[in-house]
Amino acid sequence: MRYSNPVIKGFYPDPSVCKVEDTYYLVCSSMQYFPGVPLFESKDLINWKQIGHCLTRASQIQLDQVNSSGGVFAPTIRHDNGRFYMTTTNDTTRQNFYVWTDDIYGEWSEPIFVDQQGIDPDLYFENGKTFFMSNGKDDFNIDGIVQCEIDIRTGRKITPSRTIWTGTGGRFLEAPHMYKINNKYYLVAAEGGTEFGHMVTYACGDSIHGPFKSYPHNPVLTNRNMGGYHIQAVGHGDLIEDNNGHWWMLHLGFRQSGQWLPYHHLGREVFLTPVTFGDDGWFTAGDNGVTRTFFETDRIPTAVVQQDKQRYTFENTNWDKDWCFLRLPHKQNYSLEQNQITLKGTEISLDQADSPTFIGIRQKDFNVSISCNVNLTIGESGITIYMDEHHHYDLAIRYDGGVYKLIERINIGDVKTIMNEIALEGSNHATLIIRSSNERYTFLAHTNDKEILLGTAQTKYLSSEVAGGFTGVIIGLYAYGKDSLAEFTKFNLEYL
């Protein structure tokens, strides 16, 4: 069959995967968004269904006033002796921790912290022992991939943290994962930074402690030399074996806006690439070490059909799975019903690294039409195309000097301005409409039986190449201002 990449679209970076019986489970980073660490399941590796989050309580993760692209970094999911474990880093507090559950559809435990530096932690279980890895400095001040043995019940270190591999010389050695395959230990990592030079590298050894010999043809997977190609920044991969003995890698990458438009605003996404082991024990990945938009494979039955949801509404989404908040939400300001949202604004704006009244859903493709009916009582409410507190485009209704107005606001770094405003004629409601292509957002409103064009803005100013950071565009519904109150109905997000 032929499948297309990415297999999970939109801002879902740093994937990690495990398999229990015939089901695969996958987690991703969530940064400053809450709930934290989206959790997916699949039967075939290409169709993924979100089943929840790992961090659903304020007691599990400190997100108060963290800057964008702070918070929850690079999780790993593993299963041992009937129990699931998810380990991750709160990069803002510089703490590594893990949580666990015996019910993958239920709640996860309170965090258990591990006293080891670095980010991108990994857990490896063998013969009743648990090994914890991250990048950074070990207890002897040596940089690299760092490992210690821990007591899985408490997180207490049993052995000192020691560097077991220093990579191949690429910058930002990170994302370590350990596997035992055919009595050999494989240490997979990422180098080059999670940008256009990103790559997957690995090494092999006879002991979990090393020494590790680098694969002679590293990097095993990278698109760094594919100038103008749709998929870039391939790296940060996790290996998984399917039920038929075939190996795969789930990894991140991003889709740039166009062949000669080296910008990405949808975020880092989840890609699936075939892996093949040779007789010499080394493995290769992808199409001669490259990840493609499409792969033809006989590893997945032809009866499997890759699904691609095209339309999202209030009615066909789940508030606890598909939607997210900025940092820890003030729940009293949200009324979430099956077909309507009521938002109460505060004096916290979208321009602050705080928790404005905001609920969002990830943008998953370039070409999309978004519409929603907004009924405002007072203050300001609307739709935001949100990258971070310094980079977002807002289409809203605002109560100003006794008059309701439609506004289009552009926020790009230090440039923050209302590009257009139009008075609503005797009304406090309108249908707000945003249409997107690879290169541009278009802002419109429908009121009094006519459609009004307010303006356009380029997508590239919401890209990581301009804004910085590690997130992607979130389509948000928001309310702002003391005593602000608004109702949102007939939300429709449709990919074209």
Asked if 11 and 266 touch (Cβ cutoff 8 Å), the reply is: yes
**Sign (positive or negative) of CA dihedral 60, 90, 475, 53:** negative
Give the model's pLDDT for residue 318: 97
Angle at 150 between CA 213 and CA 15, to 5 degrees: 60
Instruction: Please name which of 68, 74, 56 lies closest in space to residue 32, comparing C-alpha atoms.
Output: 68
Rounded to whole angstroms, the Cα distance separating 306 from 292 reads: 16
Give the model's pLDDT for residue 448: 87
Predicted TM-score (pTM) above 0.85: yes
Give the model's pLDDT for residue 309: 97
Phi, psi (5° rounding) for residue 319?
A: -60, -35
pLDDT in tens, the chain (496 residues): 999 999 999 999 999 999 999 999 999 999 999 999 999 999 999 999 999 999 999 999 999 999 999 999 999 999 999 999 999 999 999 999 999 999 999 999 999 999 999 999 999 999 999 999 999 999 999 999 999 999 999 999 999 999 999 999 999 999 999 999 999 999 999 999 999 999 999 999 999 999 999 999 999 999 999 999 999 999 999 999 999 999 999 999 999 999 999 999 999 999 999 999 999 999 999 999 999 999 999 999 999 999 999 999 999 999 999 999 999 999 999 999 999 999 999 999 999 999 999 999 999 999 999 999 999 999 999 999 999 999 999 999 999 889 999 999 999 999 999 999 999 988 999 999 999 999 999 999 999 889 999 999 999 999 999 999 999 999 999 999 999 999 999 999 999 9
Which listed residue (44, 138, 174, 389) is catalytic?
A: 174
Cβ neighbours of residue 426 closer than 8 Å, sequence gap 6 or more = none
Instruction: Please name which of 110, 73, 66 lies closest in space to residue 95, comparing C-alpha atoms.
Output: 73
Which domains are delineated in the chain?
2-296 (2.115.10.20), 311-495 (2.60.120.200)
Which listed residue (14, 91, 191, 238) is catalytic?
A: 14
**DSSP label of 324:** B
| The two three-digit tokens of residue 31, written as one number | 């940064």
Rounded to whole angstroms, the Cα distance separating 45 from 457 reads: 36
Beta strands in 310-356 (DSSP E): 311-313, 325-326, 334-336, 340-344
Instruction: Please name which of 350, 349, 383, 472 lies closest in space to residue 69, comparing C-alpha atoms.
Output: 472
Give the model's pLDDT for residue 115: 96
Annotated active-site residue 174? The verdict is yes
Rounded to whole angstroms, the Cα distance separating 459 from 472 reads: 11
Instruction: Please name which of 226, 223, 214, 219 lies closest in space to residue 170, comparing C-alpha atoms.
Output: 219
Instruction: Calculate the CA 121 to chain-centre distance.
Output: 17
Cβ neighbours of residue 106 closer than 8 Å, sequence gap 6 or more = none
**DSSP label of 157:** B
Region label for 155, one of left (φ > 0), alpha (ψ between -120 and 50) or beta (otherwise): left
- Give 488: exposed, middle or buried? Use CB within 10 Å, 0-12, 13-18, 19+: buried
Region label for 3, one of left (φ > 0), alpha (ψ between -120 and 50) or beta (otherwise): beta
- Cβ atoms within 10 Å of 173's Cβ, excluding its own: 23
**DSSP label of 156:** -
- Cβ atoms within 10 Å of 399's Cβ, excluding its own: 18
User: Could you tell me whether strands 36-42 and 33-34 are parallel, antiparallel, or unpaired per DSSP bridges?
Assistant: unpaired
Instruction: Calculate the CA 204 to chain-centre distance.
Output: 29
Residue located via tokens 């977002």:
392
**124, containing H or E segment:** strand 122-126
Rounded to whole angstroms, the Cα distance separating 430 from 126 reads: 60
Asked if 191 and 203 touch (Cβ cutoff 8 Å), the reply is: no
Rounded to whole angstroms, the Cα distance separating 244 from 277 reads: 14
| The two three-digit tokens of residue 338, written as one number | 């099956």
Give the model's pLDDT for residue 261: 95
